[in-house]
Amino acid sequence: MFESLSAKLQDVFRKLTSRGKLTEADVTEACRQIRLVLLEADVNFRVVKDFVARIRERAVGKAVLESLTPAQQVIKIVNEELTELLGGGEAKLAGSPRPPAVYLLVGLHGGGKTTTAAKLASLLHRQGHHPLLVATDVYRPAAIDQLLAVGKQVGVPVFEMGTRTSPVEIARASVAYAASHGHSHVIVDTAGRLHVNEELMAEVAAQQQALDPAEVLLVVDAMTGQDAVNVAEQFSQALALTGFILTKLDGDARGGAALSIRAVTGKPIKLVGVGEKLDALEPFHPDRMASRILGMGDMLTLIERAQEAFDERQAAELERKLRTRRFDLNDFMEQMKQVSRMGPLDQVLDLVPGVGAMKRKLGNVQVDQQAIMRAQAVLQSMTAQERAQPELINGSRRRRIAAGSGTSVQTVNQVLAQFHQMKEMYGQLAAMERAGKRPKLRFPFM
């Protein structure tokens, strides 16, 4: 996410911090480099101009240039201005005083509306709500079937009336159905077009007028950069948009759409898609995103993901086992599964402050997600007795496990070595805790 933008901005800041004391000329040069980096990232020209002007105005004052850490002060200013550019604070989804709250999803064909509708339904479902998906795309072949399929995957019902009823009538009927069946939210998947046109706008405007939705959310592909911003501007002029959902943010190395869309339209980014899985949609936090772009990590998001992925009862039981040195391969396998639930490991590591810079320093090392899958295959190929008593795994058993998992004896040996290293590390930490030499052990954050 924003890999190219982040790397280039951090290079600018490295040059600043290496200078010690700063002059006005140093700040001017840094601002020039930031401007070039943002333009290369496909950020709107007017947005870049205003952004850099605000940074320079704040950074050339005496309070900054004569401080003991002028470079850090400049970075702090950039962080604050970047947060403001992205929206300032989190823009939460609106509710309704009288359920159901209606969310109307609009956008062009190919922007990911149907999948995003299912992701939003999944997010609401995990939060304890009772959403209903509504299929009003009566034009695209198999659009209704697609929504039915993804709705089934996330465990959320889909309301549909076939392709012969008008979208406005379907939408109206869905709200009445939701109210009578106790649904808290109605998520309306509308039809898209290949480009912005009067027919598209007239249809979604009619649905908006009929439904009076709590949210009108434009779904846009973040990887299209300035094109996404242009589409957002056109929709914003024709409809009473309340915000945006940016899809494919995990694949956007530049960041042009995310950094421009709020400033150009005045509407906030409310949600972002950060992966292909149907649970890969999360609220957009401008301060956290700014921190990640500047290489400062995002510990709050990391903690939230861990809280969702780790079962408290299992964590407490694992803690007890670690203290008594009864940590076995079953526990090792369960821990690996729970870490996997947090998302791709390279994305998880990028949330840790400093890891992104370390990866670039080592030649942009990539995490081998396949290695994790191979390790899980090895553990699953063991018998329950072998996982409970790893000391039983001799040479012949290792060959059988390798054949059963489709790996090699070398891979089996590596997995066992990792297990023993982790067990030893946890044992040492528990011993240090008992001796009062470290804070109390708390899993999963040591």
| pLDDT number for residue 327 | 77
**Token code pair at residue 255:** 């960041």
Whether 404 and 381 have beta carbons less than 8 Å apart is answered as yes
Name the percent of the chain in helix, strand, coil, to the closest 5: 60, 10, 35
In tens, the pLDDT along 96-126 reads 888 899 999 999 988 889 999 999 999 999 9
Q: How far apart are CA 336 and CA 388, in angstroms?
A: 16
Taking the domain 101-296, which CATH number applies? 3.40.50.300
CA distance 46 to 242: 23
Distance CA 394, CA 42 (A): 57
Taking 50 as the pLDDT cut, the residues of the chain under it are 362, 365, 438-446
Per-domain boundaries in the chain? 3-85, 101-296, 310-434
Q: DSSP alpha helices (H): ranges in 240-296?
A: 256-265, 286-293
**Among candidate residues 184, 196, 206, the one with its CA nearest the CA of residue 227:** 196
User: How far, in Å, CA of 104 to CA of 204, rounded?
Assistant: 9
pTM: 0.70
40: left (phi over 0), alpha (psi -120 to 50) or beta: alpha
* CA atoms in the 13 A half-sphere facing the CB of 415: 31
CATH topology of domain 3-85: Four Helix Bundle (Hemerythrin (Met), subunit A) (1.20.120)
Angle at 234 (CA atoms; ends 229, 235), nearest 5 degrees: 95
Q: What b/e string do you get for 199-223 counting C-beta neighbours within 10 Å, with b at 16 or more?
A: ebbebbeebbeebebbbbbbbbbbb
Please name the residue that has the structure tokens 């290369």: 40
CATH 1.10.260.30 is right for the domain spanning 310-434: yes
pLDDT in the model for residue 298: 52
DSSP category for residue 224: G
DSSP state of 170: H
| Mean pLDDT, the chain, whole residue set | 83
Task: Write down the pLDDT at residue 341.
Answer: 66
Beta bridge mates, 283: 271
* Separation of CA 47 from chain center: 24
pLDDT for residue 134:
96
61-64: list long-range contacts, CB under 8 Å, 24+ apart: 64/22, 64/27
In the sheet with 101-106, reading across from the earlier edge strand, the strands are: 158-159, 131-135, 185-189, 101-106, 215-221, 243-247, 269-273, 281-283
User: What is residue 362's predicted lDDT score, i.e. its pLDDT?
Assistant: 46
Residue with the two structure tokens 């109307």 = 104
Write the DSSP assignment of 339-369 as a string of letters: HHTT--HHHHHHTSTTHHHHHHHTTSPPP-H
Tens digits of residue pLDDT in 14-73: 888 887 788 888 889 999 999 999 999 888 999 999 999 999 999 888 777 777 788 888
138 strand-pairing partners: none
Q: Residue 80 in contact with residue 74, Cβ under 8 Å?
A: no
Q: Which of 250, 224, 213 shows the shortest CA–CA distance to 106?
A: 213
Q: Tell me, what DSSP letter sits at residue 324?
A: T
> Hey, what amino acid is at 28?
T
Please state, in angstroms and rounded to a whole number, the distance separating the CA atoms of residues 312 and 331: 14
* Burial label, 262 (beta-carbon count in 10 A; 0-12, 13-18, 19+): buried
* Residues 188, 134 contacting (CB under 8 angstroms): yes
Structure token digits, residue 102:
């209606």
Q: How far apart are CA 428 and CA 442, in angstroms?
A: 14
Report CA Rg, the chain: 26
What tokens were used for 344? 């791709």
Pick the closest to residue 107 from 174, 39, 9, 203 (CA basis).
203
Predicted confidence at residue 22, as pLDDT, reads 84
According to DSSP H, which parts of 18-132 are helical? 24-40, 45-59, 62-65, 70-85, 113-126
Q: What is the pLDDT of residue 444?
A: 43
Quickly tell me which residue has 């795309």 as its tokens. Answer: 137
